[in-house]
Structure 1
Amino acid sequence: MKKRICLRYLLLLLSLVTPLPLLADTLSIPVGDQGDPHIVLPNRGESQKAVLERFGLPDEEHPAVGKPPITRWDYREFSVYFESGVVVDAVRQHRSQYLKDLSPTPKEPQ
């Protein structure tokens, strides 16, 4: 008898809990402006020397961290990640639309 009552409560509980995921809303958050898609980025597998010859000196060079050593070079429009002197990834810099609107505009000659 107790088994039947427990089974009924279990079935009732399952019937109440099962539809809960169906009530969830889908929330879409726009990623925003991720930089100019036409910017040429270094290719995976390129050496630091090849990147240096192709793009020049970085604006900022971060020291290697971790094992294997990961180094980051920051350019104006993108960052390059190196592992043991070889490109593992290159990503565009996020440019906030708000900051773009605040950037000074060139003044016209008077």
Structure 2
Amino acid sequence: MNTTRFAVPLCALLFAASGLASARAETLLIERVREENPAQLPTRGLTMAQVEARYGAPSQKLEPRGGQKRQWPAIHRWVYPAFTVYFEKNKVIDAVANKASAGEIGPKPPIR
């Protein structure tokens, strides 16, 4: 009996099963965010003053990026423990949940 004919499919099956096991052990950032209340993040259009009044002072205000040309407005980033807020001029354009742990898969922490 020729056993090499079965060795390749068996190896592929074992490789796929090991990948599934490791994928289940990881936490996806998007899954955690869906479980949490999305209303906890600042919404688009809030001003810097409204964000600070509602969520308090950020733990860090990063240097603005962009602004080299009029078409490229400066983007300000405020880091809170659970999320990072992005502003164009003084208005929120986006808020992104931060990773809870190093094992969580999702956006990388902001560049400091």
Tell me the TM-score normalized by structure 1.
0.56
User: What SS is found at the alignment partner of 1:72?
Assistant: strand
Structure 2 portions without partners, runs of 5+: 1-18, 68-72, 105-112
Deviation at 1:33, TM superposition (A): 3.5
Pairing partner for 1:90 from 83, 91, 95: 95
Q: Secondary structure at the match of 1:90?
A: strand
Identity between Structure 1 and Structure 2 (%): 33
Residue type of the alignment partner of 1:74: V
State which of 58, 62, 85 in structure 2 corresponds to 1:80: 85
Structure 1 residue runs without a partner (length 5+): 1-26, 100-110
Superposition deviation, residue 32 in structure 1: 2.8
In 2, distance between residues paired with 1:32 and 1:97?
10
Contact 2:63 2:77 in 1 (8 A): yes
CA RMSD of superposed structures (Å): 2.7
Runs of 4+ in 1 over 4 A off after TM superposition: 27-31
Partner of 1:32: 27
Question: Distance between the aligned counterparts of 1:60 and 1:97, measured in 2?
Answer: 20
The aligned counterpart of 2:60 is 60
SS of residue in 2 equivalent to 1:57: coil
Q: Is the 8 A contact 1:64 1:70 kept in 2?
A: yes
Retained in 1: the 8 A contact 2:27–2:103?
A: no
Q: In 2, distance between residues paired with 1:86 and 1:51?
A: 9
| Number of residue pairs the alignment of both structures matches | 73
Q: Which has the higher helix share?
A: 2
SS in 2 for 1:53: helix
Query: Take 1:54 and 1:43, find their aligned partners in 2: how far apart are those partners?
Result: 11
